[in-house]
Amino acid sequence: MATIEDVARAAGVSSSTVSYVLSQKRSISAPTRRRVEQAIADLGYRPHMGARALASRRTHVIGLMAPLRSGVDVSVIMQFVTGVVTRARDFEHDVLLLTQDDVTGVERVAAGSMVDAIVVMDVEADDERIPLLGTVKQPAVLIGLPRDAGGLSCVDLDFEATGRLAARHLAQTGHRDVVLIGSPPEVMARHTSYADRVFRGFTAECAQSSLTGVVQACGSTPDAARSAVDAVLDQAPDTTGFVVHNERALPHVLAHLRERGRDVGRDTAVVAVCPHDIALSQHVPMTSIDIPGEVIGAVAVEMAMARLENARPSETRLLAPVLTERGSSAQGPGTPG
Amino acid sequence: MATIEDVARAAGVSSSTVSYVLSQKRSISAPTRRRVEQAIADLGYRPHMGARALASRRTHVIGLMAPLRSGVDVSVIMQFVTGVVTRARDFEHDVLLLTQDDVTGVERVAAGSMVDAIVVMDVEADDERIPLLGTVKQPAVLIGLPRDAGGLSCVDLDFEATGRLAARHLAQTGHRDVVLIGSPPEVMARHTSYADRVFRGFTAECAQSSLTGVVQACGSTPDAARSAVDAVLDQAPDTTGFVVHNERALPHVLAHLRERGRDVGRDTAVVAVCPHDIALSQHVPMTSIDIPGEVIGAVAVEMAMARLENARPSETRLLAPVLTERGSSAQGPGTPG
DNA sequence: TTGAAAGCGCTAACAC
DNA sequence: GTGTTAGCGCTTTCAA
């Protein structure tokens, strides 16, 4: 492997000149730049990132803590990860992957100066990692909205507005008895931030729009979905509007609604809160509020970079939900036609 | 951040002694060791990984190239990734995530000495990355089985044996007309290695066991699954044995078989080739051949580490498939009962 | 059993 | 506009 000294020698300049050609941190005459670039090309030179990190205190790597096995839907996770990795590359950074259950991971990579910043996915309302993240020297960005961010930056879909928007859509299309089919009971119990927030927005809007709204936790298996739908329909048979915020249960909920004689898109409306592709790959294309995983991941990286470069204060960004009407929502009993 | 010098000073020893306490590369007297360890604890010392990498030429990071958006099923990908990350931690390594479509990624992290080894997922029969991987100084392990590994190590489920095992199971349970519902047409066309190999094993076993076997590509959407099932049933209505090697299509295939009047587990047998959890989360628990993603990922790391430590030659490891009988396979028409 | 010191390859003052 | 040089924090000979 050629070193910066090799390049300098080949170009007949000093190594600092090569360094400055690379970093653009001072002006270089055109001819010198040419010769250096030629030498770099000739030798196939690549800076040694460890040496660079040591000297510059910048690793050009960001840490990403992802929930690799949790009950959270995998395709959503992948979208976040994709967004983070892609945007990181735009900033000439690579991504070091940490798993949620590697508790010492944050400490290790931060104290070991392996990363310039840390992005944390799947943050819960009272996430135990927040105090720790506050102590490390690298800026951290949380994907999610904890009760107390402890001075860290946060980014997420505005799930409360999402819950409200979904309920309002059902209200506006004439439904009066509605339900929110939510996350698995264990996720609900864990007070995962997004589940709580959808819940809050949904119930608030129900109150405001005089809807009869109930909330039903729901596991991800076919049986769990069946039970959830049964529970709702048995206790509130007049329910015509459904909000489903559970990607994995969604197909089973739809299937069981059909089994129970409901015609989704005609006598029953279903609004899904899930990624685009999932909304589109159901039997009936779903009216849905997108969870824009890639965008959120990308924004997280942008926020981390901004903090690195400008030493800007931390901030919280909540992305406004967008509802896209497709086949699955229908006029409810409350309106003509 | 405390440095090794700080620790040395606090312990009243030289920095090399601290280094050796950490690396265990030479014997240290008990009292010295104590004092050093105490100082490390007191100062909360963590070695700077960049400095360590520069001096030792070991980054303690392995690169993982994963297909973040391809048609390959996400949950399978996650399992591989989980296996890699988990096992890497056992070897005190972290994982740098590269995406498939970041073509220059391998070159960048290898030439920049950012990683000690590289694991590549989703390797195709004639993968263009193989020549490149051959030129870098870090050992590479391919997850998959290319036509020509070019001297690189490979690990994968033995998909050919998997195809054979699935067909044999159907043969042994009395089915004579069988079908392999495979990957999406574009995956088939791309000659993704595993798709080809299942195909080969399946057809070979059909020939050997005198089964009438057909192969049907199948997209991942409900409609695609429906069409695939229709195509099979219309052309070969006597088909009673199905092998489904397509996680995303699986639920839709099952649903449509039911719609077409088939009773899976009674008059029709379905053997799935998919991860455990997917086999279990269908309406009918599936007889399946597991794709042991975590294990394969873990083995890939082990192979990479072995090559790093022993400079061992490259090798190929194919994991034997295991078929687990559950509810979805039934006695076929060819046997009594 | 321990220490001194020469790098590892780069960056960023500081000098000209 | 360019060169010199002192580190960055560690590992690993070489010497004792």
Interface contact A97-B98, CB threshold 8 A: no
A68 and A92 co-located in one domain = yes
Say which CATH number the domain at A250 has: 3.40.50.2300
In-domain check, residue B271: yes
Q: Is A243 exposed, middle or buried (0-12, 13-18, 19+ CB in 10 A)?
A: buried
Q: Which of B85, B221, B253, B282 to mutate to test the interface with A (most CBs of A within 10 A)?
A: B85
* Phi, psi for A4 (deg, rounded to 5): -65, -30
Domain that holds residue A34: 4-56
The predicted-structure confidence for B193-238, as pLDDT tens digits, reads as follows 888 899 999 999 999 999 999 999 999 888 899 999 999 999 999 9
Say which CATH number the domain at B20 has: 1.10.260.40
In-domain check, residue B175: yes
Contact A304, A139 (CB under 8 A): yes
In-domain check, residue A126: yes
In-domain check, residue B86: yes
B130 and B208 co-located in one domain = no
In-domain check, residue B315: yes
Chain B closest CA to A208's CA: distance in Å? 38
A134 and A229 co-located in one domain = no
Nearest residue of A to residue B84, measured between CA atoms: A97
Q: Tokens standing for B121?
A: 């997922």
Q: Is B195 exposed, middle or buried (0-12, 13-18, 19+ CB in 10 A)?
A: buried
Contact B126, B100 (CB under 8 A): no
Mean pLDDT over B103-127 rounds to 94
The predicted-structure confidence for B51-109, as pLDDT tens digits, reads as follows 999 999 999 999 999 998 766 677 888 999 999 999 999 999 999 999 988 889 999 99
Angle at A95 between CA A94 and CA A100, to 5 degrees: 170
A125 and A104 co-located in one domain = yes
A43 and A118 co-located in one domain = no
A297 and A254 co-located in one domain = no
Residue with tokens 């193989």: B130
In-domain check, residue B215: yes
The mean of the pLDDT values for chain B is 93
The predicted-structure confidence for B258-314, as pLDDT tens digits, reads as follows 999 999 999 999 999 999 988 998 888 999 999 999 999 999 999 999 999 877 788
Q: What is the largest CA-CA distance in chain A?
A: 84
The predicted-structure confidence for A31-61, as pLDDT tens digits, reads as follows 999 999 999 999 999 999 999 999 999 999 9
Q: Does B232 touch chain A (CB under 8 A)?
A: no
A244 and A96 co-located in one domain = no
Q: Which of A72, A77, A97, A221 to mutate to test the interface with B (most CBs of B within 10 A)?
A: A97
Mean pLDDT over B29-48 rounds to 96
A151 and A251 co-located in one domain = no
pTM exceeding 0.85: yes
In-domain check, residue A108: yes
Residues (30-59, chain A) with CB within 7 Å of strand C atoms: 45-48, 51-52, 54-56
B168 and B43 co-located in one domain = no
B218 and B286 co-located in one domain = yes
B46 and B168 co-located in one domain = no
Domain count, chain A: 3
Q: Residue A290 above 90 pLDDT?
A: yes
* Phi, psi for B58 (deg, rounded to 5): -135, 125
In-domain check, residue B246: yes
What percent of chain B shows pLDDT beyond 90?
80
B150 and B185 co-located in one domain = no
